[in-house]
Amino acid sequence: MWTANDRSKRFYEATKTDQRNDFERDRDRILYSTAFHRLAGITQVVRAGEQEVFHNRQQHTLKVAQVGRRLAQRCIDEYPKFASVIDAEVVEAACLAHDLGHPPFGHVGESLLDQLVSGDDQDGFEGNAQTFRILTTLALRFPEHNGLNLTRATLAATLKYPWLRDRKDKNKTFKWSAYKVDAEAFVFVRKFHGGDKRTVEAALMDWADDIAYSVHDLEDFHRCGAIPWIEVFGAHDQIVDAAAEKWHNAPPNAEQLLSDSLPALRVL
């Protein structure tokens, strides 16, 4: 188990100069970074147009951060014993950072970049690994060193796939969270975590991402007229049954709750 001091440790020693705690400083550094500003120019799933307002990657990220903070707060309220390993500021900071390295055109763009730069002695390209590289190396914040110099806890929470690329392991070939060139920083971050398990805060970040995009992607597809609503409402029972089957620890009245909520889509 890592201690509070372990969690707040930075790769480069830093002196506290204001009232913010370590994780609040992490959040602010990410929010005001150039990499975060660039997200406003990247669309999510629908190309931006003049007639309709669609989500760009920055708007998506802000919603992920809000959901992530609320998930963390709920976990702490429900399970106080986990308060030492869950911090809402850490989760929010990781959520703000989670898409910094992802290129335009989504996974298609990511795959193409990987093909262009892959080689026997090269890692290729992966959006999550690029995020880690931005945070630890590419971002400019201090004259004396590269990167944002975030805490170990925040960096660990950004590692959705906490391993380096291993072409001999099919589970580590297509998704990974750090390039070999950044191995020193990766080892520093993962010092207190054995194996390939991600931190609880990283899991919360990932869940928040899933929740946010599953909602606003639906909104965007609706606005561009890509959803056949007549067919959707005609399949009411099938949708309710499928959703109830996937609901983990569903309440006894799960199907009724889903059935009652589906008509809300009509007001979109």
pLDDT in tens, the chain (268 residues): 789 999 999 999 888 889 999 999 999 999 999 999 999 886 655 555 545 567 788 999 999 999 999 999 999 999 999 999 999 999 999 999 999 999 887 788 888 999 888 876 678 999 999 999 999 999 988 888 899 999 999 999 999 999 999 988 888 988 999 999 999 999 999 999 988 999 999 999 999 999 998 887 777 777 778 888 888 888 999 999 999 999 988 999 999 999 998 888 777 6
Cα angle value 152/34/179 (rounded, 5°): 50
Q: CA–CA separation, 18 vs 14, rounded Å?
A: 12
Distance, C-alpha 238 to centroid of its chain = 31
Tokens 């390039």 label which residue? 179
Q: What is the pLDDT of residues 73-115, one digit of tens each?
A: 999 999 999 999 999 999 999 999 999 999 887 788 888 999 8
DSSP string, 183-228: HHHHHHHTTT--TTPPPHHHHHHHHHHHHHHHHHHHHHHHHTT---
What are 143's two structure tokens?
């004259």
- Specify the pLDDT at position 233: 86
Q: What is the pLDDT of residues 168-183, one digit of tens each?
A: 888 898 899 999 999 9
Q: CA–CA separation, 60 vs 48, rounded Å?
A: 14
Tokens 């370590």 label which residue? 22
What are the φ/ψ torsions at residue 178 (nearest 5 degrees)?
-155, 140
- Specify the pLDDT at position 46: 53
Contacts of residue 164, Cβ cutoff 8 Å, sequence gap at least 6:
123, 172, 176, 178, 179, 180, 183, 186
- Specify the pLDDT at position 50: 46
Domains (ranges, CATH) in the chain? Answer: 4-215 (1.10.3210.10), 228-267 (no CATH)
What are 97's two structure tokens?
């950072």
- Specify the pLDDT at position 52: 58
| Predicted TM-score of the model (pTM) | 0.87
Q: CA–CA separation, 227 vs 220, rounded Å?
A: 10
Helix axes 200-223 and 88-97, enclosed angle (nearest 10): 50
